[in-house]
Structure 1
Amino acid sequence: MMIKKVLLGICLGLAYASAQELTLEKKIGQMLMVGFHGTQAPEESQICRDIQQYHVGAVILFDYNPVDKQKPKNIASKAQLAKLTQSLQACSADGKLLIAVDQEGGNVQRLKSRYGFYGQFPKASDVRNMDQREITEVYTKMGRELRSVGINYDLAPVVDLDINSQNHVIHGLGRSFGKEPRMVAQYAATFIDAMHGNGVLTSLKHFPGHGSSVGDTHKGFVDVTNLWKEAELEPYRLLKDKADSVMVAHVFNKRIDENYPASLSYKTITKLLRWKLGYHGVVITDDLQMGAISQKYGLKDTLKLAIHAGNDLLLIGNQLDPQKTVSTQKLVETIAALVESGEVKEEHIDKAYKRIQALKKKL
């Protein structure tokens, strides 16, 4: 009997160790939102194998293919996209893979008319000329279209304030609902409600404010220290209990953190967004391959700082530079090594994992 108990104890111990190992890997995988090339995701595809093996939590889809401009990257038609998202979900263990796109309206809409979608959703600056009923109709239609092809996560709405007429990425593209924080929050709330009505999650962006910037973080370092206004935080405070997630920009603001851009800043994410503004949901980085980050930080330091700062979802779009795509295996192994060396606390991974699971429960 004693021998049996000892053997049972050893078996349980091995199973426990194995589960622990799997749990860390699974928790890390759940923190990743990755971009990939392909309009299909059969079981033997790399993306499907990654979702299965590493328990990838989220993917991001693009229509524009930076490798071959003649071919689509992920989106070619309604029927194709619906089949792709169905295949991706079938690869996931929980059937709750977060499948994301940037669908704001105006210049930023991945579901274009040339692929058979509506494709005519207005930009935010035009939405403010509509009445409440029209706005609700517009965003309900958008949510319905996303849901019809299996997209459950829209990286929108933009709540940046339109306070700098020299700003090309927000003002220039009409991506802001206006200058007044309460009005911006009101439009954003209508957007969120319409998405929720169709089972689509959302993300406020770009914390702590991109409306005052002059440069473009896609291309390189952007310092908003002198132009940024505290009012840019107000939409986040007003929507903190409604927001599913908050996307953090790569802007540098010396008044908040004198060392790091927002997306890698503990002072910005944990101290300001979570502690001061009282937001406790999922935080997602903007694409960590954007110039503002990739030109200054290597992959290991980027991941270490992003996790320590308090981000839950780490976005690696594999979209901006075909020469610099990063495999899911490399991402998982790099983070696991950082945990093992003590450079990243496992407690940060645990907190992120729990927040992501809470977000998925909304689906």
Structure 2
Amino acid sequence: MTLELGRLFLLGFRGERLKPDHWLCQALQQHLGGVVLFDRNVDASVQNISSPEQLKGLTRDLQDAAGGGLIIGIDQEGGRVCRLKPAAGFPPQPGAKEVATAGLAASRAAAERCAALLADCGITCNFAPVVDIDSSPPCPVIGGLGRSFGTDAETVAAHAALWVRALHAQGLACCLKHFPGHGRARGDTHLGFVDAGSGWREDELAPYERLIAAGFQDAVMSAHLVLRQLDPAGRPATLSRPILQGLLRERLGFRGVICTDDLQMGAIANEYGYRQAVQQALLAGADLLLVGNNLKDQPEALTAGVAAIEELLQEGRITEARLAASIARVERLARGPLADRARNSAA
């Protein structure tokens, strides 16, 4: 069996254009699964996005270089987490708390506008909606930034369903986040280790349960939180087999792509080496490994990551069949929801 292991990676990169000598060109030839785009990187300089026309040209060039079928992802939640900003010529987009306060009709309208914009710009997957439940006091990086639709699972699930439908209608895939729930955490996993302690509650699974039961099978992003009530070994959810395989796959019945949050975030990078993080995430049940190259530039992420996976294979710690299943899920995500719908209708 010949495995295209590059499919298991989703990488960020620096540059507003795809130049022939950029390392990403070689990565695309190595069957890279996808890219994630940012407006600015950690030092506040432009990373990938400076105007609507520039973005359309970039996404077109990326697909051409990949031969099509490339996941082009973005975090376009609205509000404080927007990669397409008015300063670069894009229309403003309200955040989750703002649209939820205005009601379901306003939320639907905002979702439809966002989906149409992303499709027009060549984006294929939105790392949204956020289905974390807000709390009091709020998590500083969720409720504190207005990123949650509400304080109860029913409200969050209702708004998230509208966003999923709007994105699907434009042919875009979605990635729910941050599993199994970040809304009651008291720290920022961008910065370092965060133990959620006893704050996590069972109701944080409810939005996932409802959306999966309704047929959602695109992608779910793992949190880097430690939740000892779910994994007594104290592994972050991204590296936890009891959480990803036991809870998300087996209990909730999720069959889509499990995508890690950025492996360069402090909660992972400060505690684990890159090789170890890649290996443990896959062994835990992840399918798609995200390396943002936003916090730092790591051009060797693909080659080093593939080498780490090959080591797992050589040592017999993972099977080719398991990796092939992950690759198939990633390829299905790349085809998008409309392709699956058409195939199901034909059957």
The TM-score normalised by the length of structure 2 is 0.92
Query: Which residue of the partner structure matches residue 89 of structure 1?
Result: 63
Query: Which residue of the partner structure matches residue 237 of structure 2?
Result: 262
Asked if structure 1 preserves the Cα contact closer than 8 Å seen for 2:279 and 2:308, the reply is no
How far off its partner does 1:66 sit? 3.1
Structure having the higher Rg: 1
Q: How does 1:261-300 map to 2 (within 5 A)?
A: 261-300=236-275
Q: 2:90 aligns with which of 104, 113, 117?
A: 117
1:63 maps to 2:63:
no
Q: Which piece of structure 1 moves more, 337-346 or 261-270? A: 337-346
CA distance in 2, matches of 1:29, 1:138: 35
Q: 2:148 aligns with which of 157, 161, 176?
A: 176
Q: 1:154 aligns with which of 126, 141, 148?
A: 126
CA distance in 2, matches of 1:325, 1:222: 27
CA distance in 2, matches of 1:102, 1:170: 14
1:315 maps to 2:252:
no
Query: Which residue of the partner structure matches residue 77 of structure 1?
Result: 51
Query: Which residue of the partner structure matches residue 127 of structure 1?
Result: 99
CA distance in 2, matches of 1:326, 1:186: 41
Tell me which amino acid in the other structure corresponds to 1:238.
R
CA distance in 2, matches of 1:109, 1:166: 20
Asked if structure 2 preserves the Cα contact closer than 8 Å seen for 1:89 and 1:96, the reply is yes
1:107 maps to 2:80:
yes
How far off its partner does 1:329 sit? 1.8
CA distance in 2, matches of 1:232, 1:272: 12
Query: Which residue of the partner structure matches residue 45 of structure 1?
Result: 22
- Secondary structure at the residue paired with 1:263? helix
CA distance in 2, matches of 1:169, 1:261: 17
Query: Which residue of the partner structure matches residue 331 of structure 1?
Result: 305
1:210 maps to 2:182:
yes
CA distance in 1, matches of 2:94, 2:157: 18
- RCO higher in structure (CA 8 A, sep ≥6): 2
Asked if structure 1 preserves the Cα contact closer than 8 Å seen for 2:23 and 2:299, the reply is no
1:232 maps to 2:209:
no
Tell me which amino acid in the other structure corresponds to 1:262.
A
The change in CA–CA distance for 1:236 and 1:214 in structure 2 (over 3 A counts) is same
Q: 1:359 aligns with which of 328, 333, 343?
A: 333
- Secondary structure at the residue paired with 1:160? coil
Tell me which amino acid in the other structure corresponds to 1:297.
Y
Q: Which piece of structure 1 moves more, 293-302 or 125-134? A: 125-134
Task: Output one character per residue of 1:170-192: Cα deviation in whole Å (capped at 9) or x when no partner.
Answer: 11001111111122111000001
Asked if structure 1 preserves the Cα contact closer than 8 Å seen for 2:16 and 2:47, the reply is yes
- Identity rate of aligned residues, in percent? 40
- Secondary structure at the residue paired with 1:151? coil
Task: Output one character per residue of 1:202-232: Cα deviation in whole Å (capped at 9) or x when no partner.
Answer: 1110000000100000011111131110000
Unaligned runs of 5+ in 1: 1-19
CA distance in 2, matches of 1:63, 1:361: 25
Q: Which piece of structure 1 moves more, 35-44 or 299-308? A: 35-44
Unaligned runs of 5+ in 2: 340-347
Asked if structure 2 preserves the Cα contact closer than 8 Å seen for 1:154 and 1:203, the reply is yes
CA distance in 1, matches of 2:136, 2:317: 39
Q: 1:242 aligns with which of 216, 222, 230?
A: 216
Tell me which amino acid in the other structure corresponds to 1:108.
V
How far off its partner does 1:166 sit? 4.1
How far off its partner does 1:96 sit? 1.3
The change in CA–CA distance for 1:176 and 1:143 in structure 2 (over 3 A counts) is same
How far off its partner does 1:154 sit? 0.4
The TM-score normalised by the length of structure 1 is 0.89
Q: 2:11 aligns with which of 23, 27, 34?
A: 34
- Secondary structure at the residue paired with 2:145? coil
Q: What is the number of residues matched between the two proteins?
A: 334
Query: Which residue of the partner structure matches residue 323 of structure 2?
Result: 349
